[in-house]
């Protein structure tokens, strides 16, 4: 476990987070512009633009971490999809690394992973509506 902790480059993780935030913000701004939200405001289009920005952030951070710091996946113990009434929840259990700073980055990684995972199907549906709706 101590070997995994030493192999994680926190500077690289910070750089990935900054890149992901920049890409997410750029996608948000371009989406707002392309959807015409700077001329007239409509809540539905704005929600879609925010979703596109969030998906872009999650994808860049998640896949960037997989490429640059793949050791973060070793802290994931299990993934479960739980259906509670009308809600579907992704529950990811992780193990502690013993380092609070690394645990915080693991939580960010898992959040981005779940955000991207839950956003893929709605993104495909939105794309289908756009192309064939």
Model confidence over 33-45: pLDDT tens digits?
999 999 999 998 9
**Phi, psi of 90, deg, nearest 5:** -95, 120
Shortest CA distance to 5 belongs to which of 109, 110, 96, 107?
Answer: 96
Query: What average pLDDT does this structure show over 80-95?
Result: 86
Percentage of the chain modeled with pLDDT above 70: 95
pLDDT at 4 over 80: no
Each residue's pLDDT tens digit, 39-79: 999 998 998 899 899 999 999 999 999 999 888 888 989 88
pTM: 0.82
Query: What average pLDDT does this structure show over 20-31?
Result: 97
Highest-confidence segment of 17-31, 57-71, 99-113: 17-31
3-state per-residue secondary structure call for the chain:
CHHHHHHCCHHHHHHHHHHHHHHHHHHHHHHHHHCCCCCCCCHHHHHHHHHHHHHHHHHHHHHHHHHHCHHHHHHEEEEEEEEECCEEEEEEEECCCCCHHHHHHHHHHHHHHHHHHHHHHHHHHHHHHHHHC
Looking at per-residue confidence, does 109 or 6 come out higher?
109
pLDDT at 2 over 60: no
């Amino acid at each position: 476990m101590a070997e995994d902790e030493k192999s994680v480059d926190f500077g690289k993780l910070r750089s990935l987070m900054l890149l992901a935030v920049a890409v997410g913000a750029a996608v948000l701004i371009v989406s707002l512009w392309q959807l015409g939200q700077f001329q007239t405001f409509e809540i539905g289009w704005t929600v879609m633009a925010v979703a596109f920005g969030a998906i872009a952030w999650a994808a860049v951070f998640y896949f960037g971490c997989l490429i640059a710091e793949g050791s973060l996946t070793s802290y994931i113990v299990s993934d479960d999809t739980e259906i509670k009434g009308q809600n579907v929840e992704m529950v990811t259990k992780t193990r502690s690394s013993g380092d609070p700073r690394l645990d915080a980055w693991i939580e960010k990684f898992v959040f981005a992973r779940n955000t991207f995972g839950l956003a893929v199907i709605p993104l495909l549906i939105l794309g289908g509506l756009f192309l064939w709706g």
